[in-house]
Structure 1
Amino acid sequence: MNMSLAVGEVRFSLVVPAWNEAARLPALFDSIDAARGRWILAGRDPQAIEIIVADNGSNDGTPTIAAMRGARVAEVLPRRIAAARNGGAAVARGELIGFVDADSRIHPDAFLAIDAAMSDPAVVGGATGVTMERWSAGIALTYALGLPVVWATGFDSGIVFCRRADFRALGGYDEDRAIAEDVDFMRRLSRLGRSRGQRLRRLRRARTVTSTRKWDEHGDWHYLLQMPAVGWRLLRDPRALPDFARRYWYDGR
């Protein structure tokens, strides 16, 4: 725990980019309440955690739900995930900052685990990692095929966190990237850490539960059948947005 913080100062800002997430936000906020409860039981100041919903042009009541659950709401345009993340970060007050998708549920120990990890000056940032909300053969194989990349690079998802000062020094997420902006950010954060003798940290005991709604919509094997072509296009042009990727990440709901 950072003992230098005065009562009422913000230790950790959690940014939730959201577009038409009214159906999913309540479950996320229930999990946030549980994690905040453990934080308080550990003797921590409840005001040290703030939640920011970066609303990216929703028309389904997402900002109203977020405000009712105690979050600060930042209205962000244009509609692009990197812009939403950066827009939420722009109003953050925490010494630490993290990002989680609106269709997730965080672990009850998430805030405590992130606080402990970032109290180590040898850690530049990291991620909690994820587990899936449901499993099948196709989802399990997709998950397993991604693990070697995670092990080799230290890049992961779930809640991605770092010091807010480092986030600003890196310029945040690349808003020219319609997708894969999170991988690019982790790469730059890792490089910054290496330049200072720091490392990324994965919090495998505080994994975030991530939605499988893309598998529900496109089929449990779709990632293996359709994503290789998208990946090839992105290798050739990181700022390209193939039609399938546009439909996959930006259309619907």
Structure 2
Amino acid sequence: MFIGVRVIEQERVDLTVVIPAHNEEKYIQRCLDSIQKAAASYQGCIEVVVVLNRCTDQTRQIAELYNCVIITEDSKNLSKIKNAGVRVARGEMIVTIDADSWMAENMLVEVDTLLKTGKYIGGGVGAIRSERVSLGIIASSMVIVLPLLLKYGNIAIGMFWCYKKDFDAIQGFNEKMLMTEDADFAKRLKQWGKKNGKLFGIIRKATLFISTRRFDTLGDWAIFKNPKIIMGYWTGGKNQKTADLAYYEDQKR
């Protein structure tokens, strides 16, 4: 029924997709389905690495059905979780995506095309579409995104892509940061690109779709009832309790 996306051991891997997963049984199949479709248009060999994080549901079993590479990292630190996945990756190119997001069929082709031009150090995705929109979601997004733009500049987050050698050169995601690690990564990747005469790329010809599960669970205006979460996004989330509230303890999946 399912077509595996993991390559066999002796084959060369061109691209690795890394997915951090904390109790994602409701969402990860949609993500993996989208990667399969994107892989069908991609000419190289890919593997998918799923990093299980304290999962107590069927996330592992679903990942196994898709023949994913599966590892475990149980810390409450998204940087450590993502870095663990990249460490075992065999691909020359790296893509990171959240388990509750899904990509357009041409996404991996776009990543491959842009990186092989030699103009880009890597980058993010500019074409992002939420599965639903409301005034509360828009307001919440602005409260989070605008300060990040002021602090980190014109970057794109949500999904990252780069060569593994460049990921390693900037030491991956900052494990001292418990929140906004993605914006920090984008800024450092952009700076590394500038040193090497390359641009930070933003994919606009392929769409990244993101879920609204936090809003669906807590309410579209819930973030305004939790100012500690807002402050955590603004400051990089140095407080573990705030990070737990944003990423773990508040998510009844």
Short-chain TM bin:
0.7 to 0.9
Compared with structure 1, are the counterparts of its residues 235 and 247 closer, same or farther at alpha carbon in structure 2 (3 Å cutoff)?
Answer: closer
Percent identity of paired positions between Structure 1 and Structure 2: 29
Structure 2 equivalent of residue 248 of structure 1: 246
Between 194-203 and 149-158, report the one with greater CA deviation: 149-158
CA contact (8 A) 2:178 2:236 kept: no
Q: Structure 1 residue 238: deviation in Å?
A: 5.0
The code of the aligned residue for 2:137 comes to I
CA contact (8 A) 1:158 1:209 kept: no
Structure 2 equivalent of residue 3 of structure 1: none
Q: Is 2:36 the counterpart of 1:33? A: yes
CA offsets, 1:79-118, max 9 Å, x none?
Answer: 3211110111011011111110000111110100000111
TM-score in terms of structure 1 length? 0.84
Compared with structure 1, are the counterparts of its residues 194 and 180 closer, same or farther at alpha carbon in structure 2 (3 Å cutoff)?
Answer: same
Q: Matched residues in 2 for 1:236 and 1:122: separation?
A: 32
CA contact (8 A) 2:21 2:52 kept: yes
The code of the aligned residue for 2:176 comes to D
Q: Matched residues in 2 for 1:233 and 1:241: separation?
A: 10
Q: Matched residues in 2 for 1:237 and 1:213: separation?
A: 22
CA contact (8 A) 2:229 2:246 kept: no
Q: Structure 1 residue 221: deviation in Å?
A: 2.8
3-state SS of paired residue (1:114): helix
TM-score in terms of structure 2 length? 0.84
Q: Structure 1 residue 202: deviation in Å?
A: 0.8
Structure 1 equivalent of residue 17 of structure 2: 14
Q: Matched residues in 1 for 2:200 and 2:193: separation?
A: 7
Q: Structure 1 residue 229: deviation in Å?
A: 5.0
Compared with structure 1, are the counterparts of its residues 192 and 205 closer, same or farther at alpha carbon in structure 2 (3 Å cutoff)?
Answer: same
Between 148-157 and 119-128, report the one with greater CA deviation: 148-157
Equivalent runs, 1:92-111 vs 2, <5 Å: 92-111=89-108
The code of the aligned residue for 1:181 comes to E
5+ unaligned residues in a row in structure 2: which ranges?
1-9
The code of the aligned residue for 2:170 comes to L
Structure 1 equivalent of residue 169 of structure 2: 169
Over the aligned positions, Cα root-mean-square deviation in angstroms equals: 2.5
The code of the aligned residue for 2:162 comes to C
After the TM superposition, which parts of structure 1 deviate over 6 Å for at least 4 consecutive aligned residues? none
Q: Matched residues in 1 for 2:136 and 2:158: separation?
A: 20
CA contact (8 A) 2:232 2:238 kept: no
The code of the aligned residue for 1:196 comes to N
